[in-house]
Structure 1
Amino acid sequence: MTRYRHRAGELLVHADDCAAIRPGLAAFGYHPDGGTGALRRFTGTRPVPDVLAALGRRGAGPNHVFGLDRIIWGDLRPRPTNLDLTPVPAAERIRMQVGVVDTGIVLRDGAPHEFLGRRVCYAPEDTVRVVRGEDGNPVGSAGHGTFVAGLVLKQVGPDVGVRMKGVIDEQSGDAEDLAVANAIDDLREEGVTLINLSFSGETFEDQPPKAIEAALGRLSPEVVVVASAGNRGMRQRVYPAGIKLGRSFPGVLDGNHALVLPVGSADPTTAISRVADFSNFGPWIAAFADGVDVLGPYFHPGYPKVFDVQEFNGYAVWSGTSFSAAILTGKIAAGMGPDVTAREAAVKVLEAAETITVHDVNGCLDVPHVRE
């Protein structure tokens, strides 16, 4: 069985399957407990894998948990830098917003990072409570949403903003299937047509997460969703980046569904561009974008405290497919306009990109490489 993480004691069931599967779940002590859209949540105490094995996986699935994949506790930590970015004041009128589903926005004295300024839109629940360790430094992933939003805004003009939806836990770096689906539904209702998902995870028996897949299926065909491909250096498909939405992947585009673009990281620091050592790879990935030592906004100057080494200056350099996804999202946003949809802009960006050769067990494959 594929290794995966899930909410203990929770199963997700399509509404159409509830009547048929309810008796079987009740026999294991699982009963309805809310849900979202076309899905219903059942809760109980028996271990989820045991219940699914007994049911033969008919109609039910785990409430999967996704995460930020090595970039907090592993070897892909943010590092201080001497570089910074010049804040761009928001235009008098923001013509479009890019949806970012992430940890949320860190506030200081009631305001976002100066680089984000008024170009980021958020509700109170989309802000981050910074969890601090004994040394006063942040514990977990609080700065991730600010960094990702900043990378999107680096690529666009002052009339493009970010609509942040904070669903990733600021301490654990985890986001559940249902919470992500709700955020996608909210963005759809707000008319957002370009969405960034910079997190990933494996799923039960390599099946797409039910709630997120259903939410993506409710998006209109002109919507583009850019998702990070993960930082495990492996070929295996991860989600939500690997969701197909009824089309061969990554071949001919299916105009009946939203376009989901899985993005890996390229290392632009070498003489010849190559896939970054940490990046997932494989024929399921649609594009690579720069993802090594990317510069973006972090916490305020002097925080976190780094003893005996250079201090943070309000910015950081960070590596990971999270940031490759954000760069591609920003490039697509920059190409959108009154007469150019997100899908049309995405196709233009990928067609104009140089290529990077990916070596795999099945041979070589040339994949678009989008530079920042």
Structure 2
Amino acid sequence: MTAFLEPSDDYTAGDLVVDHPHRELVKKRIRDLGLDVTEVADSEALGLSRLHLEGVPAFGASKGLPADDVAAIELVIDELRQAFAADFGGWVPEMAPDPTMTGIVGYPHTKPMAFTTDLMPAPASQAPIADSTVGAGVRVAVLDTGLVDHPALKGHATEAPGGADAANDPVEAWAGHATFVAGLIAQRAPGCEIVVHKVLNAHGRATNWETAVALAKLADDPEGYAVVNLSLGCRLGGPNGPLALRRAVARHGRHTLLVAAAGNHGGSDKPTVPAWPAAFPGVIAVGATNLAGDLAQITPELPWVDCVAHGSGVTSTYLTDVTLTIDDKVLDFTGYATWSGTSFAAANVSGAVAAALRPGERPADTLARLLGDPASDVRPFPLSAAGHAG
């Protein structure tokens, strides 16, 4: 482990997501542009197909872009849209690039800065998980990296089929992200059932398609989830957000609360860029506060942010018996760490809702109660107390 990831402002090179009923029409038009195309995935739940295009960099270079610019896929889509609009009276099938998702850690999104990341070893005494039934009967899904086997999380968190990462394998700091998130939720609601669904790889990345398919699958879980924690995101997708992720969000009903990190780019040179899925209607976008309760600089001060919670300098479960080199410092982790980010503010909101949920109550109504409680540390965002959640 030597460095964190750069901000997730890139595309999966040459991949295109298209409305399933029109995929053959789109493939034909792609070939008309001189590009080879293969259908590599299909999702009935999303009603979408994923296409892989060959020759996209060369196409972009022919239009004046650098030969390795993966944003050339946008030029391909623009050409397709113009052709469809000309032939069909302005009608264009839904299609979009496939952005890369990452866990939201660091500054401005996943890049280290000492005043925002502050990943440091911590003692177990700073992250107690009580022997309590608070949150009992509530299921919380965490879409994230894999769950590391941790003694403090036994009986609190499990990983969905696929297997947990072994704690003594060579790892990067990212490997502890889901474990940290799960620990924060368990601190708030020790009686709830936390199920980690691994979608981010060992480097903290996934395609938008992979994330959307996993999120859509949660909507069909036979036992259901009251809360889905999404401490991940991307900053590409246009004004309406990435197509596949938008479809996945829409599949979740009113009995599930989607809670997402708002992004850590509030103090960056792109502070107004939306982070997805947080910026979607129907998703609770969470910003971070510091120990004093003040807004953390990393939080984007934007109208789609719904609420804030403690996310700066929080302590939770982490990797065990691992030595990492971060910012040229050799750090020994023994199961607990202190970390900062809206990822962890989102986890605190998920845990607070799980702890306060009443039988038969909609999770969105539970959150509304918390936001109206002066004693709650989950507070409405100053610029948008009403938020955008449906």
The bucket for the TM-score relative to the shorter chain is: 0.7 to 0.9
Contact kept? 2:105, 2:340, Cα under 8 Å: no
Counterpart position of 1:32: 39
Contact kept? 2:324, 2:330, Cα under 8 Å: no
Measure the CA separation in 1 of the matches of 2:370 and 2:163: 30
User: What is the identity, as a one-letter code, of the residue corresponding to 2:103?
Assistant: L
1:264 to 287, 290, 308: 287
CA distance 1:329–1:126, change in 2 (3 Å): farther
User: How much does 1:221 deviate?
Assistant: 1.9
Counterpart position of 1:78: 119
Measure the CA separation in 2 of the matches of 1:356 and 1:220: 23
SS at match of 2:172: coil
User: How much does 1:19 deviate?
Assistant: 4.3
Counterpart position of 1:332: 353
User: How much does 1:126 deviate?
Assistant: 5.2
Contact kept? 1:129, 1:170, Cα under 8 Å: no
The size of the alignment, in residue pairs, is 331
1:118 to 155, 165, 180: 155
Contact kept? 1:287, 1:368, Cα under 8 Å: no
SS at match of 1:147: helix
Unaligned runs of 5+ in 1: 107-111, 245-258, 359-364
Across the aligned residues of Structure 1 and Structure 2, the Cα RMSD in angstroms comes to 2.8
Is it true that 1:277 corresponds to 2:310 in the alignment? Answer: no
Normalising by structure 1, what TM-score? 0.80
Counterpart position of 2:68: none
User: How much does 1:9 deviate?
Assistant: 1.8
User: What is the identity, as a one-letter code, of the residue corresponding to 1:12?
Assistant: V
Contact kept? 1:103, 1:128, Cα under 8 Å: no
Unaligned runs of 5+ in 2: 1-7, 57-72, 83-91
Measure the CA separation in 2 of the matches of 1:103 and 1:281: 27
Is it true that 1:101 corresponds to 2:126 in the alignment? Answer: no
CA distance 1:366–1:209, change in 2 (3 Å): closer
SS at match of 1:18: helix
Contact kept? 2:120, 2:331, Cα under 8 Å: no
2:243 to 196, 200, 210: 210
Measure the CA separation in 1 of the matches of 2:283 and 2:230: 10
Normalising by structure 2, what TM-score? 0.77
Counterpart position of 2:70: none
Measure the CA separation in 1 of the matches of 2:298 and 2:168: 27
User: 1:254-333 alignment to 2 at 5 Å?
Assistant: 259-269=282-292, 273-300=293-320, 302-304=321-323, 311-333=332-354
User: How much does 1:299 deviate?
Assistant: 1.3
User: How much does 1:215 deviate?
Assistant: 1.3
Measure the CA separation in 2 of the matches of 1:60 and 1:308: 45
Measure the CA separation in 2 of the matches of 1:63 and 1:128: 27
Counterpart position of 2:54: 45
Measure the CA separation in 2 of the matches of 1:131 and 1:24: 50
SS at match of 2:319: coil
SS at match of 2:285: strand
Measure the CA separation in 2 of the matches of 1:61 and 1:53: 10
User: What is the identity, as a one-letter code, of the residue corresponding to 1:161?
Assistant: E
Contact kept? 2:138, 2:226, Cα under 8 Å: no
Q: CA offsets per residue over residues 5-45 of structure 1, 9 Å max, x none? A: 22112110111332442321232322322221211011111
SS at match of 2:152: coil
Contact kept? 2:105, 2:343, Cα under 8 Å: no
User: 1:1-372 alignment to 2 at 5 Å?
Assistant: 4-27=9-32, 28-36=35-43, 37=45, 38-47=47-56, 48-56=73-81, 58=92, 59-71=94-106, 73-75=111-113, 76-82=117-123, 83-88=125-130, 95-106=137-148, 112-125=149-162, 127-128=164-165, 138-158=171-191, 160-171=192-203, 173-190=204-221, 191-233=224-266, 234-244=271-281, 259-269=282-292, 273-300=293-320, 302-304=321-323, 311-352=332-373, 353=376, 358=382, 365=383, 367=385
User: How much does 1:177 deviate?
Assistant: 1.5
CA distance 1:129–1:77, change in 2 (3 Å): farther
Q: CA offsets per residue over residues 97-133 of structure 1, 9 Å max, x none? A: 1010000201xxxxx212211221223425236797x
User: How much does 1:236 deviate?
Assistant: 2.1
Contact kept? 2:307, 2:385, Cα under 8 Å: yes
Q: CA offsets per residue over residues 32-85 of structure 1, 9 Å max, x none? A: 222212110111113322311212384211111111244365121411224433
Measure the CA separation in 2 of the matches of 1:78 and 1:64: 27
User: What is the identity, as a one-letter code, of the residue corresponding to 2:283?
Assistant: V
User: How much does 1:147 deviate?
Assistant: 0.3
Identical columns (%): 24
